[in-house]
């Protein structure tokens, strides 16, 4: 039996060798620029650029001409030096596209994309951006680029770099089946409250020390049909929540439908950027969300900060109810914070540090944003150590005093002096695209 296997392997290696040898000999022709392949005519330059920023996209994978590789075989020659590479890429895409448990589950295909840090499902269809209509496929790519930009900034602030960031195992979704029981981190039955829910099993993760990168990919979904949202909430997240919902720490998942305020391109992009940062940081070093431990101030601060950094304002509150209740200065906060943190205002850190993310008003979240703003601008070298300390559940006050080497009041004086020196008296006009 063994011999048969060896013989077979021998044959395969042999024929592969021959194929490679002949592929190397192929020279292409003038029409294909001596490549053996030409660009697929189905896709314009804008889309080709978008596709270059993701690992896989289900929409392009369905192209009957190129199989998502963006290249078709030259019809004037037998191939060229690029032919084998394109062939391999097509096979890789086909294998990725075939593993789609969500499509099997919903009995229809859903637009999805995979990037270095995320697996997104953007099932919105066409949405509006001002007066313009934006195709759902293009929106999916814009969101993918936004959340990867958030990941790039998080990498920068937490000293990750490409080499350190663990290449997360493929198929987080593929490995997850509805009702497997494995995925259930959210509360069963559950509230309608939405908002962040930490995975209760996260704290039990047997981590002797903290690892340098992420544990997996962040899964983020938006549905046009509220029934789809409800169904995946029930069967994948074991929750009855009907609003937007996220599971943080271990196997982070975010699901939402295009309800009310999430019906436009900017709203979806900002919502995803905001929540991407919560998810990434909750999965970094240790699968643990610190928002209801000792790091509510840190969690709220960073959620707003990355959204603000990308879009020049923050319109998403860290709890859903706050969103409904009020806005804080139209999402542009720096000028308002400069006033609120003026010399006559009393100290705020002693009150903010012990609070959980979900217990804060939007004004308190804005103060946390500003404190995080100060940390990443003035003490970015300490940011990784702060998160590590919070993941070890150290009290925030003690941790900060140790790392910054000063009392809480002295720290707040420094932060507020920086706010007075660097925040504008009047915020710039928001971008027109909203």
Candidate ranges 82-90, 99-107, 315-323, 330-338; the one touching Zn ion (CB under 5 A): 315-323
Q: Quick one: which of 26, 61, 77, 121 contacts Zn ion (CB under 5 A)?
A: 77
Candidate ranges 182-190, 253-261, 298-306, 320-328; the one touching Zn ion (CB under 5 A): 298-306
Indicate whether 74 belongs to the interface with Zn ion (CB under 5 A): yes
The pair of three-digit structure tokens given for residue 387, joined into one six-digit string: 């998160």
Indicate whether 29 belongs to the interface with Zn ion (CB under 5 A): yes
- As measured in angstroms, the least distance from the Cβ of 37 to Zn ion is 8
CB of 158 or CB of 404, closer to Zn ion: 158
Q: How far apart are CA 40 and CA 38, in angstroms?
A: 6
Q: What is the CB neighbour count within 10 angstroms for residue 133?
A: 10
- As measured in angstroms, the least distance from the Cβ of 75 to Zn ion is 8
Indicate whether 28 belongs to the interface with Zn ion (CB under 5 A): yes
The pair of three-digit structure tokens given for residue 396, joined into one six-digit string: 């925030």
Indicate whether 65 belongs to the interface with Zn ion (CB under 5 A): yes
Greatest alpha-carbon span in the chain: 86
Q: What are the helix (H) ranges across 26-72?
A: 45-51, 58-61
Cβ atoms of residues 117 and 219 within 8 Å: no
Indicate whether 194 belongs to the interface with Zn ion (CB under 5 A): no
Q: Which of residues 33-52 bind Zn ion (CB under 5 A)?
A: 40, 42
CB of 22 or CB of 42, closer to Zn ion: 42
Indicate whether 60 belongs to the interface with Zn ion (CB under 5 A): yes
Q: Quick one: which of 32, 143, 202, 387 contacts Zn ion (CB under 5 A)?
A: 32
The residue with its CB nearest to Zn ion is: 303
Q: Quick one: which of 23, 55, 63, 385 contacts Zn ion (CB under 5 A)?
A: 63
CB of 278 or CB of 416, closer to Zn ion: 278
- As measured in angstroms, the least distance from the Cβ of 395 to Zn ion is 22
CB of 223 or CB of 308, closer to Zn ion: 308
CB of 57 or CB of 411, closer to Zn ion: 57
Q: How far apart are CA 250 and CA 185, in angstroms?
A: 8
DSSP 79-99: --TTHHHHHHHHHHHHHHHH-
- As measured in angstroms, the least distance from the Cβ of 388 to Zn ion is 21
Q: Which residues contact 37 (CB under 8 A, 6 or more apart)?
A: 71, 72, 73, 74, 79, 80, 82, 83, 86
Segment (H or E) for 112: strand 112-114
Q: Quick one: which of 198, 273, 315, 318 contacts Zn ion (CB under 5 A)?
A: 318
Q: How far apart are CA 139 and CA 60, in angstroms?
A: 14
Indicate whether 273 belongs to the interface with Zn ion (CB under 5 A): no
Segment (H or E) for 143: helix 136-157
Local structure of residue 10 (DSSP, 8 states): H
3-class state of residue 401 by DSSP:
helix
Instruction: State the first-to-last Cα distance of the chain, in angstroms, to the nearest integer.
Output: 67
CB of 270 or CB of 383, closer to Zn ion: 270
Indicate whether 66 belongs to the interface with Zn ion (CB under 5 A): yes
CB of 237 or CB of 362, closer to Zn ion: 362
Indicate whether 59 belongs to the interface with Zn ion (CB under 5 A): yes
Q: How far apart are CA 290 and CA 347, in angstroms?
A: 23
Indicate whether 341 belongs to the interface with Zn ion (CB under 5 A): no
Q: Which residues contact 67 (CB under 8 A, 6 or more apart)?
A: 61, 90, 93, 94
Q: Which residue has 């509220």 as its token pair?
A: 226
- As measured in angstroms, the least distance from the Cβ of 31 to Zn ion is 5
- As measured in angstroms, the least distance from the Cβ of 64 to Zn ion is 8
Indicate whether 97 belongs to the interface with Zn ion (CB under 5 A): no
Query: By CB under 5 A, how many residues form the interface with Zn ion?
Result: 17
Q: How far apart are CA 143 and CA 148, in angstroms?
A: 8
Indicate whether 110 belongs to the interface with Zn ion (CB under 5 A): no
Q: Which of 6, 9, 128, 106 is nearest to 58 (CA)?
A: 106
**CA distances for 122 relative to 144, 248, 307, 333, 337, angstroms:** 10, 20, 19, 29, 35
Candidate ranges 114-122, 215-223, 312-320, 404-412; the one touching Zn ion (CB under 5 A): 312-320
The residue ranges that bind Zn ion (CB under 5 A) are 28-29, 31-32, 40, 42, 57, 59-60, 63, 65-66, 74, 76-77, 303, 318
């Amino acid at each position: 039996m063994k011999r048969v296997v060896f013989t077979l392997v021998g044959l395969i290696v042999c024929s592969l060798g021959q194929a490679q040898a002949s592929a190397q000999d192929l020279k292409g022709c003038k029409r294909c620029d001596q490549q053996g392949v030409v660009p697929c005519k189905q896709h314009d330059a804008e889309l080709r650029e978008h596709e270059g920023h993701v690992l896989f996209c289900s929409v392009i994978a369905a192209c009957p001409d190129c199989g998502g590789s963006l290249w078709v075989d030259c019809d004037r020659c037998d191939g060229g030096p690029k032919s084998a590479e394109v062939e391999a890429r097509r096979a890789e895409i086909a294998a990725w596209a075939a593993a789609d448990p969500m499509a099997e589950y919903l009995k229809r295909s859903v637009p999805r994309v995979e990037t270095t840090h995320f697996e997104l499902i953007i099932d919105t269809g066409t949405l509006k951006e001002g007066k313009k209509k934006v195709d759902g496929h293009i929106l999916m790519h814009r969101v993918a680029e936004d959340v990867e930009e958030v990941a790039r900034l998080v990498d920068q602030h937490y000293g990750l770099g490409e080499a350190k960031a663990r290449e997360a195992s493929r198929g987080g979704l593929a490995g997850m089946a509805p009702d497997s029981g494995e995925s259930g981190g959210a509360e069963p039955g559950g509230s309608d409250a939405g908002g962040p829910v930490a995975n209760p099993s996260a704290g039990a993760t047997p981590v002797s020390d903290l690892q340098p990168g992420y544990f997996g990919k962040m899964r983020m979904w938006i549905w046009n049909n509220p029934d789809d949202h409800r169904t995946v909430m029930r069967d994948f997240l074991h929750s009855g929540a009907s609003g937007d919902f996220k599971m943080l720490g271990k196997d982070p998942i975010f699901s939402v439908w295009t309800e009310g305020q999430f019906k436009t391109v900017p709203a979806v992009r900002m919502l995803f950027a905001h929540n991407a940062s919560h998810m990434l940081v909750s999965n970094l070093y240790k699968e643990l969300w610190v928002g209801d431990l000792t790091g509510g101030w840190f969690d709220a601060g960073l959620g707003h900060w990355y959204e603000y950094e990308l879009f020049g304002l923050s319109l998403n509150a860290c709890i859903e109810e706050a969103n409904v209740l009020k806005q804080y200065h139209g999402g542009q906060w720096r000028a308002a914070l400069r006033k609120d943190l003026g010399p006559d205002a009393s100290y705020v850190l002693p009150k903010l540090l012990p609070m959980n993310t979900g217990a804060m008003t939007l004004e308190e979240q804005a103060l946390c944003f500003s404190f995080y703003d100060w940390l990443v601008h003035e003490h970015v070298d300490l940011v990784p150590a702060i998160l590590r300390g919070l993941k070890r559940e150290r009290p925030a006050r003690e941790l900060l005093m140790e790392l910054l080497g000063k009392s809480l009041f002295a720290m707040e004086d420094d932060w507020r002096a920086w706010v007075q020196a660097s925040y504008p008296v009047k915020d710039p006009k928001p971008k027109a695209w909203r």
